[in-house]
Amino acid sequence: MPRLKMGMIGGGQGAFIGAVHRIALAMDGEFELVAGAFSRDAENTRATGLALNLDPQRCYPTFEEMARKEAMRRGPDHLDAVAIVTPNHVHHAAAKCFLEAGFHVICDKPMTVSVAEAMDLVATVERTGRHFALTHNYSGYPMVEEARQRVQAGELGTVRKVYAEYLQGWLSEPLESSGQKQASWRTDPTQSGPVGALGDIGTHAFQLVEHVSGLRVEKLFAVLKTFVTGRRLDDDDTCLLELSGGATGTLHASQVCFGRENGLALRIFGTKGALAWAQEHPNDLHWTQPDGSVCLLRTATGATGAASRALTRTPSGHPEGYLEGFANLYRAFARAIRGERGPAASFPTVRDGLRGLQFIEASLRSDRAGQWISMD
């Protein structure tokens, strides 16, 4: 089958996540990048397009112009979808623009900078009938899927405790003062939105909690804190959670845990078993069996189910990582665009994005009030 044609908004030189999206979309040969509005800086856009061997005519100064012109293009080169990888404050406008122009959209998280924007995007997706994928990429890991399947099958019994953490250390120092691009926009409320660490990494942890446990967070008590002097957004967050079915939990998201790299980890304890998974060794799922022993389940082995095996490309013992997990979302997105339905064509959607914003806003309210806040 011919490759789907993809455009990209954001992801110019100096960006991090744009390059990740480009590898992820290319990995399985499902997509081909053909157009972009990579930066507000026209020169950056030009250079990025050149480095990517794109047609200069399809490298645009603004996403609005790109949407307008690409929508007029017909034939085999017609654009199918766009990836939005800008700072957060642009997500809503760009996504809406391309959805309304008839394109499918895959967008980075947090989806928007407010619940209002998020709800508007939900409505836009429903109205346009386009596919919208949100890159909560960690749910693309095979062993996250393995965990989810097993919890869903009741292998843990009733879930009692959920411990999620996402600990990084890279913002232990005021890196934004040095002009480092990643740090700068993430700590700037005009680009990042009303929260820092909570949006950047807390929403990933939150999504993982609900996705794997199959439960909904009903109430939360949040403490948002800024450790680094002069920083304008939170860099260290703690949320106590009450989940549906009586479970409780804790979610830590911090960017000032010295030395921690990308420490997303999830532990769930039920009445009959338990699981632990950590992103930095993603092919390992620690599964506590009824006799209390902890079994190491490994990607693509005979001990795993069909759903997780479908998310791998190599035999067991050949570690797959962050890029492959990311690519799994792109592959599912491609299948949906090609008309496939069902689990293999599933990915986090606009509703997950809304949920993330609700989590952010509930946390802000809780932090300010010093009280438990209902998420319903």
Residues 348-367 close enough to bind its own copies by CB under 8 A = none
Please identify which residue in 152, 177, 190, 371 interacts with its own copies, judged by CB under 8 A: 371
Task: Please state, in angstroms and rounded to a whole number, the distance separating the CA atoms of residues 31 and 300.
Answer: 25
Q: Is the previous residue joined to 189 through a cis bond, with omega within 30 degrees of 0?
A: no
Binding track, positions 203-222, relative to its own copies; x by CB under 8 A = ------------------x-
262 within 8 A of 280, measured Cβ to Cβ: yes
Binding to its own copies in span 5-24, by CB under 8 A: 16, 19-20, 22-23
Supply the DSSP symbol for 343.
G
The dihedral through the CA atoms of 154, 160, 163, 164 has a sign that is positive
First to last CA, the chain: 44
Cα-based angle 296, 302, 303 (whole degrees, multiple of 5): 35
Is the Cβ of residue 328 or residue 349 nearer to its own copies in the bound state? 328
Among 70, 80, 145, 320, binds its own copies (CB under 8 A): 320
* Interface with its own copies in residues 48-67 (CB under 8 A): 52-53
76 binds its own copies (CB under 8 A): no
Are 296 and 178 spatial neighbours (Cβ–Cβ below 8 Å)?
no
Stretch that binds its own copies, among 64-72, 76-84, 154-162, 183-191 (CB under 8 A): 154-162
Cβ neighbour number for residue 41 with a 10 Å cutoff: 14
Q: Which of 40, 46, 161, 351 binds its own copies (CB under 8 A)?
A: 161
Rounded to whole angstroms, the Cα distance separating 1 from 273 reads 44
- Min CB(288)–its own copies separation in Å: 4
CB of residue 74 to its own copies, shortest distance in Å: 21
Q: Report if residue 298 touches its own copies, rule: CB under 8 A.
A: yes
**Distance between CA atoms of residues 52 and 25, nearest Å:** 13
Q: Which of 154, 258, 338, 368 binds its own copies (CB under 8 A)?
A: 258
Q: Which span (59-67, 120-128, 195-203, 265-273) binds its own copies, by CB under 8 A?
A: 265-273
